[in-house]
Structure 1
Amino acid sequence: MEQHPLTDFFDQKVQKTMGKNNRTIYKMNNETGEGIITQYIILPGIQFFYNDFHMSNGQNQNKLPHADVLELNHCREGRFECRFANGTYQYIGSGDLAINLLSNQTVSTSFPLSHYHGISITIDLQKADSVIRKIGEMTGGLDIDLFSIANGFCKNGTCAVIRNQNKINHIFSELYCTKPYMHASYLKVKVLELLLYLGTEKIQNTQVKVPYFAHTQVKKVKEIQKYMVSNLRQHYTLEQLSEQFDIPLTSMKACFKGVFGCSIYAYIKSYRMQAATVLLQNSDCSITEIAMKMGYDNPSKFSEVFKKEYEMTPSEFRKKYIKA
C-alpha cells in the first residue's frame, strides 16, 4: 500500500542523509543547533520516529497539516513546545504523551531546554484502519478502533496530553532500548500494544488535558528567562519580575512552569549551577570568584547548593572534569 513519505509531513528543509531498508535518517540544522530523526515504516499507514534534538528552535521540523492523521509524541528527556495556528501553546515534558490530529496545524515548534529526546508515531487513520482490522481478525480478538482513539482524545480538534502515566512509560521504555535487529517486528508489537491500551475506556476517561498558554504570556516569560540569565549576579523577587514585565504574578508563575517545566527560582538556581560548571572547567577563576559571578556572596552557600545539584563540591568537580 502507498505510504506517506517523511517529506509529506515535514517541510523541505528537512534533508535525508541516509536510507536503508525500512529505516531512513533525516538531519536538520539551524543557528540554534541540530536535530536527527530516524524513521521506520512499520505497517501500512503507520510510521515511527526516534527524535534526537540539541537545538532550541525546531521550526524546520513542523508537521504539515494532514486530515485523518493522528500523531503521538512521547517525551523521554527535555521539553517540547508546540504553537498551534490559533496562537495557543502546548508543552510536554519527560514522561508525557501528546495526542494530536495533524488537522490541528502546528506553526512552530521549539525546545525550551535546548534538547529533546522522544518518539513520534504518525497514523494515517484511513490507510491503517483496514490493516489493523485484518490483524485483529487474524489474532482472533485484537480490538483496536483507530477512529475511536482519535475521537476520544482529540475532540473539537484539541491536543490531549497524558502526564507521566506509568503504563505508557513502561511501553515506551522498551521502545527506547530496542536493538536495531529487532526493529522490523518488535516495533509493530509495541505500537499495537500502545494502541490497544489507548483504546481502553479507562485511559480515555482518566486522561489529563492540560491548559494552553496564550502567545503574549509565553513571550513575556521567555523575556523574563533571557533577562534573568543575562546577569546571574542579580537576584529578583517574583513581584519585581511581575511588575517589570507587566504580567500578573499567578499567570507568570503558571506559564513559566508550563514553558520551562519548573518554577522560576528552581530554574535560575539550576541555570547558575550549570553556568558554574562551565567556569570550573574552562576558566582559572577561583571558586570564590565563580560564586560571586553566580550571585553568591557567601562561597560556602554556593558550595552547598552546588553539592546538592551535582553530589560533589565545586573543588571536587574541578579536579574531576578540568581539561588537561
Structure 2
Amino acid sequence: MFDALDKAGFGSNVHEIAADGECRVLRIDDESGEGFMTLYRVFDGIYLMYNDFHMNHCVSEYHNADTVLCIDHCREGRIEHESSLGERYYMEAGDLRIDHRLHHEGLVELPLSHYHGITIGFLQEIAQISIRREMPFLSIDLNMLGDKFCSEKKEYLLRTNETLNTFFSQLYHVPKAMRIDYFRVKIAELLLLLTDIDTAAYSEQRLYFPASQIAKIKEIHSLITSRPDKIFTVKELSEISGIPPASLRKMFKAVYGTPVYQFIKSYKMKAAAEILISDRRINIADIAQRLGYDNASKFSAAFRDVMGVSPQNYRNRQEDI
C-alpha cells in the first residue's frame, strides 16, 4: 500500500522522516512552520493517519493517481480549504469531511496556526479487495459509499455528529501493542456507521465564501493584530473593508472560530498578560492605555473575563512560579 501512496505523490515538500513496520512518519515543511503525518497501514489499500500541524499555511501538492475515498476528522484547530467551485470552507473541532481528494492541491491555510485530526483513507480498488478478504461479514461497496456522500465529486461536510465524534475520540489514545488490531476493528465499525448515516438528516449546510471576501477578512485580522492600541468597532471595520456589518460578523467567525468582538478582547488581554510578565515596571494603568482602554477598571474587568483573574493577581502568580 505504501508503494501505491508513493505513486499518488504527496508532493515535493513532504518527506519521510521515520519508518517502522506498518508505520511511516511524514513531515511537511513550510516557512510558517511544520506538520507531521503519522501513517499506519491497516489493510492493503486502507490507511489511518494522524495529522499534527503547527503552521499558518502550506501548499498541498497531493495528487491522487488512483480513486481515493478519505474521511477526515478535526480534533482541534481550524483548517481552510478551497471547494470544487473555488470558494473557501472551514473545518473546525468536531467536523467530519468525506471526499475523493479531487480538489486537494493548492494553498491550505490554518487560521489558528494549528490543526490536529485523523484521516482514514481507502485506495478504493485495493481497499475493496481487502474488505472482501478481511471483513467478509461486511457487505460494503466503497464506490456506492463514495457516491452516497460525494455526489457530483464534491466534498461532504458533517458538523459535530456525536456518534462519529465518540468513534474518533477512541482513536487518539491507543496503546502501541494493540494499535494495528484495534485500527482494523475500528475500520469495520466506521464503515457500518457511515452506511447508516442519512445524509439529508444529519448534514448541516456549511458556509462557503468567495475567496475575495475571505481575503478582506484576513486583512481585517491583520489590522486588528497590528493595532493593539485601538479598539475597533464592527462599524469601523465594515467601513474599512466594504463588507456589511452582518456579513463581516458571519465571515470573521467562520474563519477564526470566534466573534470579532470576542477575538479583539481576547487578543488584547493575551497581549496584556505578556506585558505583565515581561516588564514588571509597567503599572496596570499604563498597560490599559497601551491597549486602548482609557479606564483601568474596564481593562481589569475585561482581563478577568478572559484570563480568570485580575491583572495584579496574574502578575503576582507569575512571580510565585
User: By the TM > 0.5 criterion, same fold?
Assistant: yes
Q: Residues 13, 313 of structure 1: CA spacing in aligned structure 2 closer, same or farther, 3 A cutoff?
A: same
Please say if 1:286 is aligned against 2:277. no
Q: Residues 43, 249 of structure 1: CA spacing in aligned structure 2 closer, same or farther, 3 A cutoff?
A: same
Amino acid at match of 1:191: I
Amino acid at match of 2:195: G
**1:160·1:208 contact (CA, 8 Å) conserved in 2?**
no
Q: What is residue 27 of structure 1 aligned with on the other side?
A: 27
Deviations 1:3-44 (A, max 9, x none): 523573411111111111111112233221221111111111
d(CA) in 1 for partners of 2:296, 2:205: 44
Q: How does 1:225-264 map to 2 (within 5 A)?
A: 225-264=221-260
Q: What is residue 167 of structure 1 aligned with on the other side?
A: 163
**1:39·1:50 contact (CA, 8 Å) conserved in 2?**
yes
Name which of structure 1's ranges 93-102 and 64-73 shifts more when overlaid on structure 2. 64-73
Q: Residues 264, 9 of structure 1: CA spacing in aligned structure 2 closer, same or farther, 3 A cutoff?
A: farther
**2:84·2:154 contact (CA, 8 Å) conserved in 1?**
no
SS of equivalent residue, structure 1 residue 177:
coil
The structural deviation recorded for 1:86 is: 4.0
SS of equivalent residue, structure 1 residue 4:
helix
Q: How does 1:100-249 map to 2 (within 5 A)?
A: 100-137=99-136, 140=137, 142-202=138-198, 205-249=201-245
The structural deviation recorded for 1:256 is: 1.4
Q: Residues 274, 144 of structure 1: CA spacing in aligned structure 2 closer, same or farther, 3 A cutoff?
A: farther
**1:69·1:122 contact (CA, 8 Å) conserved in 2?**
yes
Q: Residues 243, 143 of structure 1: CA spacing in aligned structure 2 closer, same or farther, 3 A cutoff?
A: same
Query: Which one of 291, 300, 312 corresponds to residue 303 of structure 1?
Result: 300
Q: Residues 187, 320 of structure 1: CA spacing in aligned structure 2 closer, same or farther, 3 A cutoff?
A: farther
d(CA) in 2 for partners of 1:116, 1:250: 28
d(CA) in 2 for partners of 1:276, 1:66: 50
SS of equivalent residue, structure 2 residue 80:
strand
**1:37·1:50 contact (CA, 8 Å) conserved in 2?**
yes
The structural deviation recorded for 1:84 is: 4.1
**1:11·1:63 contact (CA, 8 Å) conserved in 2?**
yes
Q: How does 1:1-40 map to 2 (within 5 A)?
A: 3-5=3-5, 8-40=8-40
Q: Residues 133, 322 of structure 1: CA spacing in aligned structure 2 closer, same or farther, 3 A cutoff?
A: farther
Q: Residues 6, 82 of structure 1: CA spacing in aligned structure 2 closer, same or farther, 3 A cutoff?
A: farther
Q: Residues 310, 41 of structure 1: CA spacing in aligned structure 2 closer, same or farther, 3 A cutoff?
A: same
d(CA) in 1 for partners of 2:313, 2:62: 45
The structural deviation recorded for 1:283 is: 2.5
Name which of structure 1's ranges 201-210 and 70-79 shifts more when overlaid on structure 2. 201-210
Percent identity among equivalent residues? 33
Q: What is residue 64 of structure 1 aligned with on the other side?
A: 63
**1:16·1:26 contact (CA, 8 Å) conserved in 2?**
yes
Please say if 1:317 is aligned against 2:314. yes
d(CA) in 2 for partners of 1:53, 1:2: 22
d(CA) in 2 for partners of 1:322, 1:94: 35
Q: Residues 182, 308 of structure 1: CA spacing in aligned structure 2 closer, same or farther, 3 A cutoff?
A: farther
SS of equivalent residue, structure 1 residue 176:
coil
Name which of structure 1's ranges 164-173 and 202-211 shifts more when overlaid on structure 2. 202-211
The structural deviation recorded for 1:323 is: 9.6
Q: What is residue 44 of structure 1 aligned with on the other side?
A: 44
The structural deviation recorded for 1:164 is: 1.1
Q: Which runs of 5+ in 1 are unaligned?
A: none
**1:79·1:111 contact (CA, 8 Å) conserved in 2?**
yes
**1:85·1:107 contact (CA, 8 Å) conserved in 2?**
no
The structural deviation recorded for 1:151 is: 1.1
**1:84·1:107 contact (CA, 8 Å) conserved in 2?**
no
Name which of structure 1's ranges 228-237 and 304-313 shifts more when overlaid on structure 2. 304-313
Amino acid at match of 1:98: R
SS of equivalent residue, structure 1 residue 49:
strand
**2:73·2:95 contact (CA, 8 Å) conserved in 1?**
yes
Name which of structure 1's ranges 227-236 and 200-209 shifts more when overlaid on structure 2. 200-209
Q: With structure 1 as the length reference, what TM-score do the two structures score?
A: 0.90
Q: Which runs of 4+ in 1 moved over 6 A?
A: none
